[in-house]
Amino acid sequence: MKKSILMLVVLVGLISIGYLAFLLTTNGNNSNSTKIIEQNIVKLKNENRTAKFADITPFVWDKAFIIEDPFLNEEALDRIVGAKCNLDRLETDIKRRIIFVNEGKFVFDYIYDIRDFMYKYVGTTVLTKSSSILVEKGTTETIILKIEQ
């Protein structure tokens, strides 16, 4: 009996450690991708140039959706992007998201603070690999970005 309980405790412990390692690895990759995107946007601002939106992202995608409404729930987001994303609503009006998909599958959820970056768009904007991004104007606090289709 004691041996069975010990085996069960060890098994639960190993599963818990594996799950935590998975979460840390996944969050680290997401955080790294977010940092790369933001660094590339600042670089565009400093160089005062236009670039393909695909060139500022460190992953492969074929469509991206700039979502204006931060309060959309999981079902609404899945319907907009046409893929199962498992994303929660943002719960704040200062955050926005760009959801990236590739071949109909969710790739990345880029969440940004509108106090740092603002995209000029209305509603949901669909980006493709040929869409361009340029710094239009801005203050020292906020970078205003324009998307060209």
pLDDT in tens, 89-144: 898 888 989 999 999 999 999 998 888 877 766 556 888 888 887 777 655 566 67
Q: How far apart are CA 145 and CA 91, in angstroms?
A: 24
Q: How far apart are CA 135 and CA 125, in angstroms?
A: 17
| Per-residue b or e along 38-54, where b marks 16 or more CB atoms closer than 10 Å to that residue's CB | bebbeebbeeeeebebb
- 140 dihedral zone (left: phi>0; alpha: psi -120 to 50; beta): alpha
Does residue 20 have a pLDDT over 70? no
- Whether the pTM exceeds 0.75: the reply is no
Residue 63 phi/psi, 5-degree rounding, is -145, 145
